[in-house]
Copies of this chain bind each other. A is one copy, B any other.
Amino acid sequence: MKIFDTVDAMRQVVAEARQAGKTVGFMPTLGGMHAGHFSLIEAARAECDVVVVSIFLNPTQFAPTEDLAAYPSTPEADHAACEARGVDAIFTPSVEIMYPEGAATEALVPALAKNLCGTNRPTHFAGVCTIVSKLFNIVPAHKAYFGAKDYQQAAIIRRMVMDLNVDIEIVVCPTVREVDGLAMSSRNAYLSAAERQQAPTLYRALQQGREMILAGERDSAVVLSAMRNLLADGAPDGDIDYIQIVDPDTLDDVATCDPPVQVAVAVRFGGARLIDNIRADEL
């Protein structure tokens, strides 16, 4: 496994692989890897000749009030985990390389970034789109892998790739969960023991919402109210950031939940803001 920290060196390796007729799979990460990331690596490994992982804690997707400084950074463990899973190359640039003085360009998908996480994180998805655009130009892969836990992120990146004619296929892999249902997230590391016990309630609430919809409930307000009660009982230390039922494509709220709809939730436990989502579709 090779590790690159410059744009030119990374680009050249991908160009050579493509020139040799090999397929390239790419997974951008912030580091702090867990089983969710590993499942993406494994998907890429199964489908592509060459697998590239980037590890870059992108400052532009964090607001000044957010947890950039506290975000788990585990480079040695990340490198070992990548190597063990057959990753061919890691791209791990500095902030100065990715954002030299004078950098001033943004890519964004305003219509998909205004709801859900975008409401309380208004600059987050412009930061995501911009760094992903950059990384896709540095690692022009055939396929890029993202996790379904970050539903809005995946929807925005898919839209951006389509709209800007980026020649990369976006693959979204299922959310990986702890045995008690908690979605894997780097931010789970922030939870106290008590919060960790309550955190699986997010997924139980989503399951409850999904079951109600599939059982025929069409009033979003009724479903959301039941979910809110379940969260209040099971996660008393959690502050609900949002619970919403949205159209899976436009990400706009739906008053009537005709499947398919996406049910999404964000809850804060102290400094940890956890998100999760589930699709409610016809069986």
Which A residues are within 8 Å of any B CB, using their own CB?
Answer: 7, 11, 19, 102-112, 129-130, 133-134, 137-138, 159-160, 162-167, 249
Contacts and interface: CB of A to CB of B under 8 A. Distances in A.
Number of copies: 2
A84 to B, nearest CB: 29
Contact of A7 (B7, B102, B163, B165): B165
Given A19-B19, A137-B167, A167-B11, A108 B105 contact: yes
Contact of A106 (B11, B108, B166, B167): B108
Given A7-B165, A134-B163, A137-B167, 9 more contacts: A102-B159, A102-B249, A103-B162, A104-B110, A104-B111, A105-B107, A105-B109, A107-B164, A108-B108
A103 B163 contact: yes
Contacts of A137: 164-167
A137 B140 CA distance: 10
Nearest to A10: B165
A242 B72 CA distance: 51
6 nearest CB pairs, A to B: A105-B163, A137-B165, A104-B111, A105-B160, A134-B165, A103-B163
Contacts of A164: 105, 107, 130, 133-134, 137
A167 B14 CA distance: 13
Nearest to A139: B165
A107 B109 contact: no
A59 to B, nearest CB: 15
Contacts of A103: 162-163
A107 B249 CA distance: 21
Nearest to A163: B105
- Determine which residue in A106, A108, A112, A249 has the highest number of CB atoms from chain B within 10 A of its CB, and name it: A106
A14 to B, nearest CB: 10
B163 A104 contact: yes
A107 B104 CA distance: 11
30 contacts: A11-B167, A19-B19, A102-B159, A102-B249, A103-B163, A104-B109, A104-B110, A104-B111, A104-B112, A105-B107, A105-B108, A105-B109, A105-B159, A105-B160, A105-B163, A106-B107, A106-B108, A106-B109, A106-B110, A107-B133, A107-B164, A108-B108, A130-B164, A133-B164, A134-B165, A137-B164, A137-B165, A137-B166, A137-B167, A138-B165
